[in-house]
Structure 1
Amino acid sequence: MSAPTQTRPPQATRGGVEIRLPWWALALPVLAFVVLLLLILNPVDAHAAATGEPATAQLLERLRELTAH
């Protein structure tokens, strides 16, 4: 005894599923990509990498300054 099989998914028989994204669903990733790209390409901030002091030490120093006040 064999069971009947469907050849099409149920959505295809009703005209398919329409997916609409809000405008910000595309705008936010594009904006984030552009901002990160500009941060990478900005030569003005290049001197910060050459200071020799690691970023974690700078972060800990800032936290210490904030907690001291």
Structure 2
Amino acid sequence: MPVPAHPRSHRPAADRAEVLPDRAEVRLPWWAVTLPAVAFGALLLMIMSPGQAQAATADPAIGQLIERTLQLLAR
């Protein structure tokens, strides 16, 4: 009985379709699209109207606290 010299290195096309789908299906939650779109819109509005921006009137202690925190994190 003759034996094939080389075994088949690939499967027939019908078997490959089961192993490798034509395209991958990706499903995103609603917030994965909505939140970046809202953030982009907010940033765009801030860029479009910079003349209406006003200086913050916060307590200087908050600024010092943030500065001190950044210095501690940098170490």
TM-score, normalized by length of structure 1? 0.49
Whose relative contact order is higher, 1 or 2, with alpha carbons under 8 Å and at least 6 apart?
1
TM-score, normalized by length of structure 2? 0.46
